[in-house]
Amino acid sequence: MTLVNESVKRAEVKPKYCRFKKNGIKYIDYKDADFLLKFINEQGKILPRRLTGNSWKYQNKISQAVKRARHVAILPYLADQMK
């Protein structure tokens, strides 16, 4: 049985957009935990760009904010079944 990759249904694949450029958000506050929770997974790791769809500039700001929040114990370094 040959392995055939099914075709990707173009309609389903919605184009990703950088929410920061779209909404004009300029500063990501490291103190705002519930906004940062959108960018980390259940174990508290930072989600990669290909999932969040952020542009490089804002993904850097996100990771910097998350690392600062971790330092000040607003976000955990590692967590199980968080959120």
Binding footprint of other proteins on the chain (CB under 8 A): 19, 22-29, 31-35, 38, 68, 70-77, 79
Smallest gap from residue 38 Cβ to other proteins (A): 7
Give the Cα separation of 19 and 60 in Å (integer). Answer: 14
Cβ distance to other proteins smaller for residue 21 or 48: 21
Tokens of 71: 């330092």
Q: Is 48 or 57 the residue whose CB approaches other proteins more closely?
A: 57
CA distance readout (Å), 15 to 12, 24, 78: 9, 19, 31
Nearest distance, CB of residue 50 and other proteins, angstroms: 19
Shortest Cβ distance from residue 76 to other proteins (Å)? 4
Please tell me the distance from the alpha carbon of residue 74 to that of residue 62, in angstroms, as a whole number.
14
